[in-house]
Chains A and B, each alone.
Chain A
Amino acid sequence: MNTHVSSLRITSVKVLDQDEALDFYCGRLGFEVRDDADLGFMRWLTVALPGQDSPQLLLELPGGPHQDAETAAQVRDLLTKGALGGVFLTSDDVHATYAQLREAGVEITQEPVEQPYGTDFGIRDPFGNHIRVSQLSGATDREIEERYREQAKA
């Protein structure tokens, strides 16, 4: 099926305070602001990694024109209990990234773990979103399958 959809450009990450979100996503994780505009009914705030125009994270407050107060409260409830979606990032030095984030006091949900496909660890943003940071080994699918088989026998 060809829908002509060609890229993922922006995806929404719910946050509870956009200034605090900037501190975290830009100040801690290294994202840069792409758009920061007051639309009146909302602050349109997007960030992306250096040198990249996409994908962008829309750091969005619950509420706004498409959510009533009760729905927004439900979203805030789900967010703070860790029940909303997550973000998967890659790093070219996962251990260095881990050390920096730990030093900065970021909540660590899992220490770096060696996986057949690489190494990764988990953190949370200040609002409860889960973020996974991976360094992929560059192994081929066949090599990864072989590592799973070796792991199975260990």
Chain B
Amino acid sequence: MTKDELRTRLTILRDQHVINERAYEVTNMAFDKLIECLQVDDVTQAEMLFTHLPTALTRISQGEDVEGPSAEMLVEIKQSEYYPIARQQVDYIESVWKEAIPKAEIDFLLLHYTNVITINQGGNQNENCCWRTNGKERN
């Protein structure tokens, strides 16, 4: 998914009132943050994440709850070498959303981010990524 493809998708969702304006803006910021970290222009198989994210943010702003992913799934993603990057990206979303995000939604975002970063094999390892600064470089 490129930035243009993201924009097209988000514009359709916003214009048809499936997502709200704030979710639209924060998702654009989140995409920029991810491509900055991975140092890629085209994030492979990111459609699910970047459709889930704005709908989740819209759901949160409307006060709707969901049950989080299974404990087994969370244990699995936390074992991923890419989990620290996913955590960094989700922390960034929380910081720009400026409101607490429910744990269930955080866990889903961690799941989606870890999957996407794994599919993209960590991108091109930007030196600003947390795993590099934390000394968690890939072999």
Partners in one complex: no
